[in-house]
Amino acid sequence: MRVERGITVAHLLAEPRLEAILRLVAGGEGRDRPVDHPRVQKPGLALAGHTHGVVPTRVQILGETELTFLEGLSPEEQLQSVGVLFALGLSLVVVTRGVDPPAALLHAAQETSTPLAIAEPRSSRAIQAIHRVLDGILAPSETRHGVLMDVHGVGTLLMGPSGIGKSECALFLVERGHRFVADDQVILSLLPSEQILGRAPTLLRNHLEVRGIGIINVRDLFGANAVRSEKTVQLVVEICPWRDDESFDRLGLDESTLDILGMPIPMLRIPVRPGRNMAVILEVAARNHILKASGHHGAQNFISTLMGDMEDPGSEAGE
């Protein structure tokens, strides 16, 4: 299922990575205004009257340069300058460095119901943080049924039919020190770096459904270190019912992939049946993926050695 691009200011301010550094100080009535561009804008020229090129639905950043310009104006000139900018129907204005906005900014925000926020970091760091969040939210996205875990640093997307045990696998992994990202619905976004970023819908964040127990809050039960708000997907594991008449890869030479938003992601099919310790198997799958990424392919090395011995059967005896 594809996810529509564009969010509201309220949604953006509620993102965990921004919630810690941004606080709304005026214009709360406009929190339903849209933000639909992944890059911010610094409207310095607009304060001087040149408003061409200002995109209202981009986050507007007022840093030290812009505030210094305003401070050099008389109170009347400040009101006029800021009034021209805020008349454009801006979605969100952010003042950086944690400074209190000039009275003219507060007045204009209240008059036009334009959300005005303060960012504690300086402009460069605030912009980087906002860009990272917007890249994830506004990128081409889709939602898939599954569970996303961070296993040994490898973003592992567990897929399979409902009731196969994906959530139980996640619980076992959390108990073994790995980190939980999403259960049931995983929002997958294509970043500019061509990586696939996964996260949970806001309502489901930190929650995991365990049949027989119900919905649990992983963060409350296991602590903040047991969860992540998002993780890039590097490996897909399809958990399948065990069937004696179905063949599964036994050598590890099959290089299957799953297409997610046009990007091929390495994929494994692992059968499940009573007695198999799926947590350990998934840990091994993640470790093996790390080795492959570093250029060490155990299965291929084994086959190469085996083929070499077959071509020279007397080599071992000669030793």
**Which is the catalytic residue, given 135, 150, 183, 184?**
184
Residue 203: exposure state from Cβ atoms within 10 A (0-12, 13-18, ≥19): exposed
Question: 177 and 152 in contact (C-beta within 8 Å)?
Answer: no
- Comparing C-alpha atoms, which of 145, 137, 140 is closest to residue 8? 137
Burial 206-232 (b: 16+ CB within 10 A, else e): bbbeeeeeeebebeeebeeebbbebbe
**Which is the catalytic residue, given 31, 33, 58, 166?**
166
- Comparing C-alpha atoms, which of 183, 134, 187 is closest to residue 162? 183
* Residue 231 known to be catalytic: no
* Residue 296 known to be catalytic: no
Beta strand extents in 114-178 (DSSP E only): 116-119, 141-151, 154-159
Q: How many CB atoms lie within 10 A of CB 309?
A: 12
DSSP letter at 41? B
* Residue 145 known to be catalytic: yes
**Which is the catalytic residue, given 145, 176, 287, 296?**
145
Q: How many CB atoms lie within 10 A of CB 199?
A: 23
Give catalytic residue positions. 145, 166, 184, 250
